[in-house]
Amino acid sequence: MVEYISINGAQLAYRLIGPANAPLIITLHGGRGFGDHKSDFKAYSPLFSSHRVLSFDFRGHGQSSRTEPFTFDQLVDDVEGIRQHFSGTEQPCIVCGGSFGGFLAQQYAITYPSKVSHLILRGTAPSHHRMCHDEDTAIHTLEQRASKAPGLSIKFLKDKIFGRFESDLEFRLIMYAAAPLYSEHFDAEVALKHNIDTAFYAKSHNDLYAEPEKFFDYRHQLHLITAKTLILVGEWDWICPPEQSKDIASRVPGAHLEVIRNANHGVHLEKNAEVIALIKQHLL
């Protein structure tokens, strides 16, 4: 059941499962402007026997309030507010971030190194420079997989997904057209239901793609991360290819990288049992 908490003036929707006083895992979802906590909660809730798993919707996403500003710094401050509320001022937590949530997880671990005991990154990138490079990779992938996503054009990819949407409806329709690219085992009926059940908010997407938010770069700060770090990526991830995760792993002291075979961007769902086993081993 979804509950709400007031953090930094915003009402944030969250779900929490696991034994009271167990170590806290905070999951940070992907999808600038259209992600929410649901897939992460489904993927990581199997860890509840030994940990508290908390998944929440960022402000301007899902069922949380549309309280501005929508900036990287504000979302990271919200994560710290949640950690303090559920773990106390000094107790560190485990942070698990994927895709856009992985950007925020890196920034949080750099900003609050003593507050993160373990860091888990899934299918993400260390800087906008790599994202700009891999916009070209995504375009190449779209050209190769055009038959999988006939409703998505290169113009839509460049100007909308990597740019700005004119309305919530345009956002919804284009992301449905792009959906086949995100999974190696696409199911149109499941994707349609997911699209209908998802909140799309163009304003938060656009703000989080505006300067300076689009132009993040953690590469020269990743050495400041002190958390025990696990990096997971699907070998066929089309939007955050494995090269990006390899770059992060080369810069975070002691980081461990796992490239999951036959998986795409949603590796935590597509290969859930394998991912959960790797995380359990990492948390020992």
The model's pLDDT over 156-187, given as tens digits with 9 standing for 90+, comes to 888 898 889 999 999 999 999 999 988 878 89
pTM for this entry: 0.94
Which domain covers residue 245, as residue numbers?
3-127+217-283
Same domain, 142 and 104: no
Same domain, 106 and 204: no
pLDDT band for position 212 (cuts 50, 70, 90): confident
Same domain, 123 and 134: no
Same domain, 93 and 54: yes
Three-class SS string for 142-191?
HHHCCCCCCCCCHHHHHHHHCCCCCCHHHHHHHHHHHHHHHCCCCCHHHH
Mean pLDDT computed over every residue of the chain: 93
pLDDT over 90 at 141, yes or no: no
| Residue 173 burial class via C-beta count within 10 angstroms: exposed 0-12, middle 13-18, buried 19 and up | middle
Domain boundary among the residues 168, 183, 208 is at: 208
* CA nearest neighbour of 25 among 7, 40, 39, 10: 40
Domain boundary among the residues 173, 208, 243 is at: 208
Same domain, 98 and 12: yes
Q: Both tokens of residue 99?
A: 């895709």
The model's pLDDT over 63-97, given as tens digits with 9 standing for 90+, comes to 999 999 999 999 999 999 999 999 998 899 999 99
The total domain count for the chain is 2
Same domain, 167 and 27: no
Q: Which CATH number belongs to the domain containing residue 227 in this structure? A: 3.40.50.1820
Domain boundary among the residues 183, 208, 233 is at: 208
The model's pLDDT over 86-139, given as tens digits with 9 standing for 90+, comes to 999 889 999 999 999 999 999 999 999 999 999 999 999 999 875 555 566 666
Query: Is the four-CA dihedral 213, 219, 224, 227 of positive or negative sign?
Result: positive
Same domain, 22 and 98: yes
Same domain, 137 and 121: no
Q: Report the percentage of the chain scoring pLDDT > 90.
A: 80
